């Protein structure tokens, strides 16, 4: 596999609202859409859509949502032989999207919490792409295994949590809010131990930091429809490009284009472009 992705697989239950409710407030929304999602599954699909050979390491339930996710992964070309079927319900993300295309998300992890260090299998991988919403010790074990075996580890530390396996990450990927929680300044993030850091900045592109310096990558101007899963699109594209031999700067530039394209359509996985879409 070019890319092995370790992360969550969730059913996204999406409701569109004029504005998101405040504390104790009820607002009316649209009909509920049920779409495949989860940070790990999203990253895997985004990478596969760009032509990478991808396997997902994850867990889903034996319920209909688990079938939905496996079908979506397979239709995108993602290998699912490393996805465990769990007796627990498939993870679910409850998502509200307002008229400004901003979202609020509550995640019920379900089967994702069943992943164990014994599930980690990086056979054949060039790049390991990790996200959270799964047990942190499993992610830390996978990163250390990747460093030890010569697989390039990429970690999207989202949501931010206590983590102790920064050494060797290339890169650590966080958004601006997550970067602030970790110290804010790129130099402080590099001091945690990763070889490189990428800070995503939404419509303002991304910042790439290495010991050699800092590079700003601008994003194209697009009409934003739905930002759900844009960060996952970024990580998937970044990982696919690195596995294909691109240097980190070129990989970040591609990832910014892919994430920008993804926000022009609804949903997470359904919005991810192919290379032909980017060329068009």
Q: Report, as residue numbers or ranges, the catalytic residues.
A: 232
Q: Quick check: 63 and 85 in contact, CB under 8 A?
A: no
Please give the full DSSP string across 12-54, using - where no structure is assigned. EEEEEBSS---TT----B-PPEEEEE-HHHHHHHHHHHTT--E
Three-state SS letters, 232-259: HHHHHHHHHHHHCCCCHHHHHHHHHHHH
Cα–Cα distance between 261 and 237 in angstroms, integer? 12
Is cis: bond before 147, omega within 30 of 0? Answer: no
Q: Is 88 helix (H, G, I), strand (E, B) or coil?
A: coil
Strand partners, 156: 173
Please give the full DSSP string across 61-84, using - where no structure is assigned. ESSHHHHHHHHHHHHTTEE-TTEE
Q: From 198, 166, 141, 181, select the one nearest 6 (Cα to Cα).
A: 141
Q: Which residue has the tokens 């250390």?
A: 144
Q: From 161, 106, 107, select the one nearest 138 (Cα to Cα).
A: 161
């Amino acid at each position: 596999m070019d890319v092995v992705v370790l992360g969550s697989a969730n059913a996204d239950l999406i409701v569109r609202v004029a504005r998101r409710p405040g504390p104790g407030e009820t607002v009316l929304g649209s009909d509920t859409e049920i779409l495949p999602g989860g940070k790990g599954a999203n990253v895997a699909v985004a990478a596969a859509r760009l032509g990478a050979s991808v396997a997902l390491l994850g867990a889903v339930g034996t319920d209909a949502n688990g079938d939905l996710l496996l079908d979506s992964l397979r239709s995108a070309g993602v290998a699912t032989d490393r996805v465990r079927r769990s007796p627990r319900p498939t993870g679910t993300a409850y998502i509200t999207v307002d008229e400004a295309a901003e979202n609020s998300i509550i995640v019920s992890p379900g089967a994702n919490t069943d992943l164990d260090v014994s599930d980690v299998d990086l056979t054949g991988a060039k790049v390991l792409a990790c996200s959270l919403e799964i047990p942190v010790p499993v992610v830390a074990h996978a990163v250390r295994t990747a460093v030890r075996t010569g697989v390039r580890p990429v970690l999207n530390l989202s949501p931010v949590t206590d983590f102790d396996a920064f050494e060797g990450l290339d890169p650590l990927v966080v958004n601006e809010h997550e970067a602030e929680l970790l110290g804010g300044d790129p130099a402080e993030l590099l001091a945690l131990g990763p070889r490189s850091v990428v800070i995503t900045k939404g419509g303002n592109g991304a910042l790439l930091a290495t010991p050699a310096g800092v590079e700003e990558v601008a994003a194209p101007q697009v009409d934003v429809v739905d930002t759900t899963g844009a960060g996952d699109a970024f990580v998937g594209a970044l990982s696919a490009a690195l596995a294909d031999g691109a240097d980190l700067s070129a990989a970040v530039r591609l990832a910014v284009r892919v994430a920008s394209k993804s926000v022009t359509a609804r949903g997470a996985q359904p919005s991810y472009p192919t290379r032909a879409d980017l060329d068009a």
